[in-house]
Amino acid sequence: MIKHNTPDTSNRNAHTTNGKSHQLLSVTDPHAISFILGEGAYQFPKPKGVRAWFRMLLGEGILWVEGKEAHEKQRRSVGPALSPQSARNLTPVFYENAAKMVTQWHRLFDAQHSDKIVIEMTNWAGRFALDTVGRATLSYDFDCLRGQPHTLAETLDGLTNHEKSLASFYMKALFWLLPSILHLGKKGQMIRKTRKELGDLATDILKDAEAVSDPNSKTLMSLMLRADKATAVVRMDEEQVAAQMRTIISAGYEPVSATIAWLFFELATNPEWQQAIREEVSTAGDPTFDELNNAFPLLDAFFLETLRLHPPVLENHHEAAETISIPLSEPVAGSGDLHLVIPKGTIISLPVNVIQKDKLTWGFDADDFRPERWLHRGTRTSRELLAFSVGPRGCLGRNFAAAEIKALTVTLLRHFAFSCPHEIEAFQSFVIRPRVKGEGSSSLPLTVRRTL
């Protein structure tokens, strides 16, 4: 196993363990990363085990597909549905769901006859994210924000939110080498159940001619189908449409809900920033999509710093399709060569949390939450973040996610103030979630006070 620079402790142990099973290269060199995610993106596909996970859970959608031609075909169909213009059109939906959440919280306050209560933020973040992606993708309201138990939310949560179990440990350790293990046991049953529920929902709506054929519809499914009709020689069949919808719903649920939870944790533990952002967004009316992106520098800095310190995905994994030479920004120790030959079949790990805390890039305070580092745009750009990845395989939904999270933040800060009396630690499930230190699954109980 080869490393360039030194991963932090959380990655060092995992890489050493995995290194006994297969050849693993952990890469933090900036030039190498740019090549792997950019020019060489199609020479470094996802490892077989990762593709098996996506295929079994979501189908053969854009997260699963590999190869330049096949990927670009799917990207042409899916891209317009997740474009900045699409996010702009759907911004009112973000505010409508945020307002529903405010209403439900006020009911909780009234029921407890108090202006200060404890709210489990990870639970509500998940409800908001699922309702929002449901309405935006399918014009379907999961109605999670009622606050009642919801089957799909519980299924998605149960799939990844109990990673302390022995079954989860063995599955994560072995699916790299034996992808078929994903079919076994309770975890395999949950994967199949999740795939079926998401697929049934997508195909039921697809069969609803009015929902799909309306030329004025702004849902992601309608936009995707219109783009597919306009660009594809061979149209997507029902299962391919369902695979893309499963993918968008899954991506719009877990990473988004985890980021919301971490952002509100940081607001709760940084009261001066919380108040400053509250004052910044206390304007009349709901900000537009463009205002969310450009009019609130403090909110934007806080959002970017949350992504830097709390990326939803710990590592990106790739596999060298052929033996290939990659460029380096500085030579490997003991060598003057600015290129490194990667043998075919080598697993490449890009440890996002390590890269985004590299002191050479981010300074001596790289481990600290300091949103002010983003206020000087001459030295910091969002392109330095790998939370959404970059290059041709970068996340298509980044604009959608950013607008959704900012709209919720604006809305909640106008009504409530947040504090956190607990010690919180990072917890790796499918994404990196917060939890009260020592607890089994994700949890973020915040003390919430009404300000209006």
pLDDT tens-digit map of 350-373: 999 999 999 988 889 999 999 999
Percent of the chain with pLDDT over 70: 83
Tokens representing 446 are: 């915040």
Interatomic CA distance for residues 97 and 93, integer angstroms: 6
Per DSSP, the chain holds a count of helices (H) and strands (E) of 18, 11
Interatomic CA distance for residues 61 and 244, integer angstroms: 5
Residue 410 DSSP class: H
Residue 346 DSSP class: P
pLDDT at res. 127: 93
pLDDT at res. 452: 77
Residue whose tokens read 């998605």? 156
3-state DSSP call for residue 392? helix
Contact 407, 95 (CB under 8 A): yes
Overall average pLDDT of the 380-408 stretch:
86
Mean per-residue pLDDT over the chain, rounded: 84
Instruction: Give the residues across from 418 on adjacent strands.
Output: 448
Tell which wins on pLDDT, 174 or 143.
143
Contact 87, 289 (CB under 8 A): yes
Q: What is the bridge-based pairing of β-strands 432-436 and 2-3? A: unpaired
Q: What does each C-alpha distance from 20 to 11, 13, 23, 24, 84 come to in angstroms?
A: 15, 11, 8, 9, 44
Amino acid code (one letter) for 47: P
* Confidence category of residue 44, pLDDT binned at 50, 70, 90: very high
Exposure string over 40-61, b if 16+ CB within 10 A, otherwise e: bbbbbbbbbbbbbbbbbbbbbb
pLDDT at residue 442 is higher than 80: yes
Interatomic CA distance for residues 129 and 256, integer angstroms: 6
pLDDT at res. 19: 39
For the CA atoms of the chain, what is the radius of gyration?
22
3-state DSSP call for residue 429? coil
Tell which wins on pLDDT, 323 or 153.
323
- Alpha helix segments (H runs only) across 312-381: 352-355, 359-362
Residue 96 DSSP class: H
Amino acid code (one letter) for 132: T
pLDDT at res. 13: 40
pLDDT tens-digit map of 289-330: 999 999 999 999 999 999 999 999 888 999 999 999 999 998
pLDDT at residue 382 is higher than 60: no
CA-angle at 62, arms to 36 and 431, nearest 5°: 75
Q: What is the bridge-based pairing of β-strands 445-450 and 416-419? A: antiparallel
Q: How far is CA 15 from the centre of its chain?
A: 22
Q: How far is CA 187 from the centre of its chain?
A: 21
Residue 287 DSSP class: P
In this structure, how many other beta carbons lie within 10 angstroms of the beta carbon of residue 421? 9
Provide φ and ψ at 322, rounded to 5°.
-145, 165
Q: What does each C-alpha distance from 427 to 12, 168, 233, 405 come to in angstroms?
A: 16, 14, 45, 21
Contact 119, 446 (CB under 8 A): yes
Amino acid code (one letter) for 209: A
pLDDT at residue 48 is higher than 90: no
Residue whose tokens read 């919380």? 274
Length, in residues, of the chain: 452
Contact 310, 432 (CB under 8 A): yes
pLDDT tens-digit map of 81-105: 888 999 999 999 999 999 999 999 9
In this structure, how many other beta carbons lie within 10 angstroms of the beta carbon of residue 233? 5
Tell which wins on pLDDT, 47 or 222.
47
Amino acid code (one letter) for 318: H
Percent of the chain with pLDDT over 90: 50
Interatomic CA distance for residues 291 and 204, integer angstroms: 36
pLDDT tens-digit map of 11-39: 434 343 343 446 889 999 999 999 999 99
Q: Half-sphere exposure of 231 toward its Cβ, with a 13 Å CA cutoff?
A: 15
* Confidence category of residue 172, pLDDT binned at 50, 70, 90: low
Whole-structure pTM value: 0.87
